[in-house]
Amino acid sequence: MTSADHRATAQFAADAAAMRRALELADRGPADGVNPRVGCVIVSPNGEVLAEGWHRGAGTAHAEVDALSKLAPGAAAGTTAVVTLEPCNHTGRTGPCALALVEAGIARVVYAVGDPGVHSSGGAARLRASGVEVSGGVLADEVEALLEDWLFAARHRRPRVIVKWASTLDGRAAAADGTSRWITGAAARRDVHRRRAAADAIAVGTGTVLTDDPSLTARDDAGNLLEHQPVPIVFGRRPVPQGAALRSHPRTPLFFAGAELAGDLEELARRGIRSLFIEGGPTLASAFITAGLVDELLVYLAPAVLGGPMLALGDLGIPTIADALRFDFTAVERLGDDVLLVAHPTTRDERD
């Protein structure tokens, strides 16, 4: 290995170490809202960490500016800024971070993932045009995992949609008399509440509201509210009673007619909703699946059979087996007596 190779290897190791610290800082920021969690570390030419920063939410200083604010004027000249996300290149509530780095005299910028925003991307190009050395892709997989929902919403202009149902082995979500509590056991229900708390929003149709009167909260085993609560959303045209349980939710409910699901999802993304947990019922789940707007299925299977008409899904308009919608199983988990199947849509290339 040449001396140049040794230097490159040492530089990558130093960049990766600083990026891991930036990731830790990013994780301090709010997990929901329209802005991503971003961390920044400013490093001297000899590898000393001079300043750190992270984004604390909409309207506050971005991570790069937060870090720069902790340095004396001129102290950032010739240094390296290590940032989890490509510095932004637009003026919103705050100015463009790419320009702030240039004006501070930063000589080199290292980032993990490119900014997919329509208005905010282009920071790397602006930096390079200003003579700043730029390197991307450092620990990209780890940052992608941290920002999974935000990146999905930014790239697709809609939230990531997770559809969940619980059913018997023969696909029934309820008995013939409509009863469905409880198909699955306590371990499966605990997992559902954990996943509810991890989502930005939870949705049902008006039929489920009128039939089951769900609270749409995330709770622990004792029935206490978990710290994070998803925004309750109802799709449908029928009025929701003023006394419905979801109207007492800690978060203000949102209501959509559901006639144009793609447009509704775009509106949710504009409101900062990056992940949507579809909880019920079969009409709503079927509508999202038919529209091709489902990114993950969570199917909780109980070791029971019921028979009868109460299927977990309704008619999807599929006339023949050749047209079946295909999914890939990405996880199988045992939860007490039940099984959770996690599946993602099979891409067209995979089908071919």
Angstrom distance (rounded) from CA 211 to CA 214: 9
Q: Which amino acid is present at 65?
A: V
* DSSP secondary structure letters along 32-90: SSSSPP-EEEEE-TTS-EEEEEE--STTSPPHHHHHHTTS-TTTTTT-EEEEEEPPP-S
CA distance 197 to 167: 22
3-state SS, residue 345: strand
Of the candidates 19, 76, 83, the residue with the CA atom closest to the CA atom of residue 50: 76
Integer Cα distance of 149 and 160 in angstroms: 6
Q: Is 64 a catalytic residue?
A: yes
CA–CA separation, 116 and 154 (whole Å): 6
- Nearest residue to 152 via CA among 352, 344, 351: 344
Out of 24, 48, 52, 64, the active site residue is 64
Q: Which value, to the nearest 10 degrees, does the dihedral of the CA atoms of residues 206, 202, 269, 317 take? A: -60
Q: Using the structure block, give the residue that is written with the tokens 């696909």.
A: 171
| 3-state SS assignment for residue 224 | coil
Bridge partner residues of 330 (DSSP)? none
Report which secondary-structure segment, H or E, holds 146: helix 140-146
> What is the SS3 assignment for 231-258?
EEEEECCCCCCCCCHHHHCCCCCEEECC
Measured CA to CA, the distance from residue 62 to residue 74 in angstroms comes to 19
Residue type, 335: L
Catalytic residues: 64
